[in-house]
Amino acid sequence: MTNRTSIAIFGSRDVERNTARTLFEQYLSSFVEQGRTWVLGGSRGIDEWAIEWLLERNEKCWAVVPYTRFDQPRSIQAWLEELERVVELQLPGRKSARAFRNRYMVDLCGTVIGFRSGKGSGTMAVLKYALRTQKEVHAIPILTAIDD
């Protein structure tokens, strides 16, 4: 895998499947069928739905997990079996493990795409790191309807 052609995806865990798929159609479609490698974190939410969406399009996907594949959410386990590669970092069980994993993913890729709902700060921290390391960065807001 070459750094220039690979894309890392990050995003919120609290995104519904249909919302995510709509965002992917809108923002990721132009990147598919170009022989790229997609790098994902293997968590629920954006990661889970992106893996599903990309595999439906026969894209090459990797997951980078902070511990082992068996420590990932149960809903992700079946998807991990279908990926080209799962990188198990086997980090110590600390809060910093996910941040380390995220930086590792950014360092593997030439392009970083973040889908951000505004809840939490993880995706924003990743996008800032990607900008500092001079990656191509796409920040996609996840807009949700607000009840009147």
Token code pair at residue 145: 């309807």
Give backbone dihedrals phi and psi of 108, rounded to 5 degrees, phi first.
-75, -20
44-83 pLDDT, tens digit per residue, is: 899 999 999 999 999 999 999 999 999 888 888 888 999 9
pLDDT along the chain (148 residues), means of 10: 84 91 96 95 92 96 93 86 94 89 96 86 92 96 60
Closest listed residue to residue 113, CA positions, set 34, 27, 33: 27
